C-alpha cells in the first residue's frame, strides 16, 4: 500500500565543482578546514569559502549564520559579507537529522540568513531545531533573498514566532524535500506560516515538501507592493508541486498577488479555513492566470470553509482534475468579480458553490463533466488519513488529459492504461 504522508524522493543534485571543506562542533576556527582539521563555527567559515566550494557539516549542534549583513564580499575578510556559489552540505556519513542548528545567528533571529547579494547557495540536509525565535522575538528558521538558491532535504522544527522558511525578493528559488512544522504566531495572523514567499519573487519552485501543524498558513505567497520597494509587487510564475500540506491553522495555500502559477499534485487536508485561497490584499495586482490541477483538497473540520476560494478579481484561473471537498461542504467560495475567464471542469467532490459576495449558495454553469461524491466514496480511508482513491472511486478514469500532470504525488506515471484519474494520486 502506498503511503500518503511519507515518500522516498531520491533527489539528485550536482555537487559543487570546487574544493570541499569541513566544520565540526569539536573543530577550531584556526584550523585548515580539512577533513582531518575542521573549522568550528559556520559564521567564521564564510570568508574562507570560494565560489564553487562545499562546506560539509559534521554531526552536532551549531549556532546559525548570516551572510550579506554587510554589503562587501565575505572573501574580503568580512565574516558577515556576501557569499555566492557555496553549498552547505550535511555530512552524508552522519545519521539523518544529526546536523542541527539550534541557535540563531548573532545578528538576526534566524538560523540561516542569506541576505540580498547571496546567490547560487545550496543548503542540503540541515535541521533547524531548538529556540530560534521564541515569542515575542519574531524570526525565521531560514531566510533566502538571492537568486538561484536551493533548500533541499532540510527540516525546520524549531521554536519560531514568525516563519519557517522566508523568501523575499528571490528569483528561481527551489525548496524541495523539506519538512516544516510547528511555526507559531503568538495570536498574530501576520505570522505562523510554514513557507512565506514575499514581495517581488519570480520562478519559485516548492516541490515535495511536507508542511504541517503550523499556527496559520501552510504556504503563503504574498506580493506585498509596499514592502517590495518597487512594482510590480507580485509573486510570478511560481510552481507549487507535490507537497503534503495539513493541519495548519488557517489556509493550506494562500496567494496574494500570485500570477502565472502552477499549483499541482498537492495533498491539502485538515485545513482550518480554506484549502487554496487566491486574492489581492496588499499586492500590486490580483491573483490571476493560475493553473490548479490534480490536487486533492479536503477538510472534515466543522468550521472550515470551501476547498477553493477566489476573490478580488482573481480572474483567468484554470481548475481541472481536482478533488474539492470543503469543511462546509462547498467546493468553491467565489466572488462575482473572479468568474471572468475561469475554466473549471473534470473535478470531483462537492457540487456546492458559495458566493463570496453574499455567502449564499450560487448556481453554477461550469464543471459540466465533474463528479459529485463524498469522501467515503472517493478515498481508501479518509478518516484514517489515506486519501488514495478507492477501487470503486468515482474519480478513477474521469479526469481529462488537458493539463494533466505526467506523474502523481508519489511520482507514479499518468495516464494509467490511458486513464486520467482526478486528484493528486494516480492509481
The DSSP symbol for 290 reads: -
**Domain residue spans of the chain:** 46-186, 192-427
φ, ψ at 198 (rounded to 5°)? -130, 165
Whether 316 and 342 have beta carbons less than 8 Å apart is answered as yes
Q: How is residue 46 annotated by DSSP?
A: G
118 touches 81 (CB < 8 A):
no
Do 267 and 4 form a contact (C-beta atoms < 8 A)? yes
d(CA 181, CA 177): 13
Which pLDDT belongs to residue 70? 97
Q: What is the pLDDT of residues 34-47, one digit of tens each?
A: 999 999 999 999 99
pLDDT of residue 229: 81
Summarize pLDDT for 98-125 with one digit per residue, the tens: 999 999 999 999 999 999 999 999 999 9
Q: Can you spell out the DSSP letters for 238-268?
A: -EEES-EEES-SS-SEEEESEES-EEES-EE
| 138 contacts: CB under 8 Å, gap ≥ 6 | 109, 161, 162, 191
pLDDT at 280: 98
* Residues forming a β-bridge with 63: 103
The strand pairing partners of 405, in sequence order, are none
The Cα 384–Cα 138 span in angstroms is 35
SS3 82: strand
pLDDT score of 115: 98
Contact of 349 with 298, CB cutoff 8 Å: yes
Integer CA distances (angstroms), 370 to 109, 344, 364, in order? 48, 9, 12
Q: How far apart are CA 349 and CA 378, in angstroms?
A: 8
pLDDT for position 427: 85
pLDDT for res 228: 84
Per-residue pLDDT of the chain (427 residues; tens, 9 = 90+): 334 444 434 343 444 579 999 999 999 999 999 999 999 999 999 999 999 999 999 999 999 999 999 999 999 999 999 999 999 999 999 999 999 999 999 999 999 999 999 999 999 999 999 999 999 999 999 999 999 999 999 999 999 999 999 999 999 999 999 999 999 999 999 999 999 999 999 999 999 999 999 999 999 999 999 888 889 999 999 999 999 999 999 999 999 999 999 999 999 999 999 999 999 999 999 999 999 999 999 999 989 999 999 999 999 999 999 999 999 999 999 999 999 999 999 999 999 999 999 999 999 999 999 999 999 999 999 999 999 999 999 999 999 999 999 999 999 999 999 999 999 999 8
- Torsion over CA: 265, 270, 275, 280 (sign): negative
pLDDT of residue 170: 96
CA proximity to 367, closest of 324, 311, 409: 324
Amino acid at each position: 500500500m502506498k503511503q500518503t504522508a511519507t515518500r522516498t524522493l531520491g533527489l539528485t543534485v550536482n555537487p559543487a565543482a570546487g574544493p570541499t571543506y569541513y566544520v565540526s562542533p569539536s573543530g577550531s576556527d584556526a584550523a585548515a578546514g580539512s577533513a582531518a582539521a575542521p573549522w568550528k563555527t559556520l559564521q567564521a567559515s564564510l570568508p574562507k569559502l570560494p565560489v564553487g566550494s562545499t562546506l560539509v557539516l559534521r554531526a552536532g549542534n551549531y549556532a546559525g549564520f548570516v551572510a550579506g549583513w554587510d554589503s562587501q564580499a565575505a572573501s574580503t575578510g568580512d565574516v558577515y559579507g556576501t557569499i555566492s556559489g557555496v553549498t552547505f552540505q550535511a555530512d552524508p556519513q552522519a545519521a539523518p537529522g544529526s546536523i542541527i542548528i539550534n541557535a540563531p545567528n548573532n545578528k538576526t533571529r534566524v538560523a540561516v540568513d542569506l541576505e540580498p547579494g547571496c546567490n547560487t547557495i545550496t543548503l542540503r540536509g540541515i535541521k533547524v531545531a531548538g529556540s530560534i525565535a521564541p515569542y515575542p522575538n519574531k524570526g525565521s528558521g531560514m531566510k533566502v533573498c538571492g537568486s538561484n538558491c536551493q533548500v533541499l532535504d532540510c527540516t525546520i522544527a524549531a521554536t519560531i514566532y514568525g516563519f519557517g522558511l522566508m523568501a523575499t525578493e528571490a528569483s528561481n528559488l527551489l525548496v524541495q524535500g523539506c519538512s516544516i512544522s510547528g511555526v507559531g504566531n503568538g495570536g498574530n495572523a501576520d505570522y505562523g506560516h510554514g513557507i512565506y514567499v514575499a514581495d517581488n519573487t519570480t520562478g519559485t519552485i516548492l516541490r515535495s515538501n511536507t508542511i504541517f501543524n503550523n499556527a496559520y498558513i501552510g504556504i503563503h505567497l504574498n506580493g506585498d507592493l509596499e514592502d517590495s520597494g518597487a512594482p510590480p509587487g507580485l509573486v510570478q510564475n511560481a510552481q507549487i508541486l507535490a507537497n503534503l500540506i495539513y493541519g495548519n491553522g488557517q489556509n493550506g495555500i494562500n496567494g496574494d498577488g500570485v500570477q502565472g502559477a502552477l499549483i499541482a499534485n498537492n495533498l491539502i487536508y485538515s485545513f482550518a479555513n480554506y484549502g487554496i485561497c487566491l486574492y489581492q490584499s496588499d499586492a500590486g495586482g490580483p491573483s490571476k492566470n493560475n493553473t490548479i490541477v490534480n490536487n486533492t483538497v479536503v477538510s472534515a473540520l466543522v468550521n472550515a470553509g470551501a476547498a477553493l476560494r477566489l476573490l478580488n478579481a482573481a480572474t483567468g484561473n484554470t481548475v481541472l482534475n481536482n478533488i474539492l471537498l470543503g469543511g462546509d461542504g462547498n467546493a468553491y467560495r467565489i466572488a462575482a468579480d473572479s468568474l471572468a475567464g475561469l475554466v473549471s471542469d473534470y473535478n470531483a467532490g462537492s457540487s456546492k458553490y458559495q458566493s463570496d459576495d453574499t455567502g449564499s449558495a450560487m448556481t453554477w454553469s461550469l464543471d459540466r463533466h465533474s463528479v459529485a461524491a463524498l469522501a467515503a466514496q472517493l478515498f481508501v480511508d479518509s478518516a484514517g488519513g489515506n486519501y488514495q482513491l478507492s477501487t470503486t472511486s468515482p474519480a478513477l478514469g474521469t479526469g481529462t488529459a488537458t493539463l494533466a500532470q505526467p506523474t502523481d504525488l508519489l511520482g507514479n506515471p499518468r495516464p494509467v492504461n490511458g486513464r486520467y484519474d482526478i486528484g493528486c494520486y494516480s492509481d
